Amino acid sequence: MTGRPLTFTLFALLVFITLGITIWASRTTRDAVDFYAGGRAFSGPQNGFALAGDYMSAASFLGIAGIISLSGYDGFLYSIGFMVAWIPTLLIVELMRNTGRFTMADVLAYRASRQPPVRTAAAISTVTVSVFYLLAQMVGAGALVSLLLGLKPGETFMGMSAKVVTIIVVGVLMICYVMFGGMKGTTWVQIIKAALLMFGTIVMTLLVLTHFGFNLSSMLGSAATASGKGSAFLEPGLKYGKDIAGDPGKTLINKLDFLSLALALVLGTAALPHIVTRFFTVPSGRAARTSVNWAIGLVGAFYLMTLALGFGATALVGRTAILAQDPSGNAAAPQLARALGEEVAGRIGGEIMLAFIASVAFATILAVVAGLVMASSTSLAHDYFGHVLMLGRPRESQEVGVARFAAFLIGSLAILLAVFAKNLNVAFLVALAFAMAASANLPAIVFSLFWPRFNGTGTVAGIYGGLVSSLVLVVFSPVVSGKVDPLTGQTLSLFPAGVDFHWFPLENPGLVSIPIGFLCAVAGTLLSREKADPDRFLALSVRSLTGGGAH
């Protein structure tokens, strides 16, 4: 069995396994704690694998490998940013776990004199950030299956674009996982996915290194030659922070854009809603810290291996073939898998290796989208329905029912939006979600935990200020309009060539929107008449260190 039959067989097996887990989880989910937090029954190592599964997304496996394969050294900066991001996460994760119950809003609303505005703002931010992250995963799925079906741009499958069909299938599956399996089913899917992804990445890394006799210099040299860029492929400045001769203004913009990207990646992780909710699945703050330690080990090893995936793809597949399959480079890792398999066992080996790695990538996408929809639906049901509409007195069965319905709505919205964004690089989409999280959520989290004078007005101002500024800056950035390839004249933005309404020069808004979020939080606090309750801050401080009374 080779080619498409093998691929579809592995895909079907994977889907059946994950749906089986979902059915099992639905039978053991009895109340809100089970649905939202998996009964808080997961150990530190288990949650560490789930965290890694949640974090090592399609952007990691497909997007980063693709950027490295096309941009060399500069592409690896994504990996560095994602690794460093766990340092601030480690500093506040235990405090967040001890303070909240199910969502980020549980922490933010504790000190507010009026909780509904705070919970509403947190729910809006959670859904917005999660939807942008969802787009990245589903776009990655479209690129992946297009390669597996052997379809070229413009070809169709089942009467529709292969990417569109895949986006719909992934969307339907993620809705089923969350509606029926809740956090318990989602967590086990993520654990299995993390193990498969690490295994597949290790196998590919070893095969690449074996090809070059475990000589990194030989691998990098071959990649530089195949890239068509020569030694510049191994030096900074090919993609980020380019020096433009005779144009110091454009040179400055390029360097600021890189700084903005790095800031968003490093500060965004600790404020991502689907990462925050993962810490409520463990029984204690100590277990939460253990989770992060395991996640750091797994994630660090994975991102180091993306070097072999990206440079190996350039050396063994070639820049031309990568661009021909997907202009954004999202299919570089599966193409590398096929090349490695063919080297080991001919055409059959290539098909088997491609089918396995593609199935792992598909599992990656399914696990991450389920986690994102879980975070969004939990926030809408627990924060907005439970504490705003029902004034904090809903029945658990009502709240869980609303969460399941919210999962359907959010999943449907993500499917619709992903169809329009199907040609964007998934790593960029994730960087955008990181910038929004760092701008809207991080100021509120940090000030809630550490600033005695902070109040509910400051929380609302910080969330809306950071979220709106990041969205507005992106809409009027080169990402949406005005960016054109200087060689081909083709548009590199969402809008077609000839449409240009951008005035913000940076592609990532983090450098501007993150300070705006912090400034809005400070201004809202200082200018409001709401008085902070020192007793509430003291109680929150004790709870954050001990976990007493959080649940």
> What are 185-224's pLDDT values in tens digits?
888 888 988 898 899 899 999 999 999 999 989 999 999 9
pLDDT recorded at residue 149: 60
18 pLDDT tier (thresholds 50, 70, 90): confident
Q: What is the pLDDT of residue 3?
A: 56
Q: Which residues contact 120 (CB under 8 A, 6 or more apart)?
A: 383, 384, 388
How many residues can be counted in the chain? 551
Instruction: Please tell me the predicted confidence (pLDDT) of residue 151.
Output: 58
pTM for this entry = 0.86
Phi-psi region of 289 (alpha: psi -120 to 50; beta: other; left: phi over 0): alpha
More confident site: 333 or 61: 333
- Amino acid 181: pLDDT: 82
Choose between 441 and 41: higher pLDDT: 441
pLDDT by residue (tens digit) across 352-390?
888 888 788 777 777 788 888 888 888 898 889 888 888
Residue range 100-112, pLDDT digits in tens: 788 888 888 888 8
Q: Higher confidence at residue 519 or residue 33?
A: 519
CA 116 to chain centre: 28
pLDDT band at 2 (very low <50, low <70, confident <90, very high): low
Q: Which of 378, 371, 370, 469 has the alpha carbon at shortest distance from 119?
A: 378
Whole-angstrom Cα distance, residue 516 to residue 547? Answer: 32
Q: What are the tokens at 221? A: 């040299």
User: Which of 284, 294, 274 has the alpha carbon at shortest distance from 49?
Assistant: 294
E-state strands within 72-186: 156-157, 160-161
Q: pLDDT digits over 280-302, tens only?
A: 888 887 888 888 889 889 988 99
Task: Write down the residue that tokens 């749906």 correspond to.
Answer: 19
As a whole number, mean pLDDT of residues 425-441 equals 79
Angstrom distance (rounded) from CA 135 to CA 167: 9
pLDDT surpasses 70 at 438: yes
The residue ranking higher by pLDDT, 496 or 220, is 220
pLDDT at 153: 57
Q: Which pLDDT does position 155 carry in this prediction?
A: 61
Q: CATH for 3-429?
A: 1.20.1730.10
Query: How confident is the model over 128-167, as pLDDT tens digits?
Result: 998 888 887 777 676 666 666 655 556 665 666 667 777 7
pLDDT of residue 423: 65
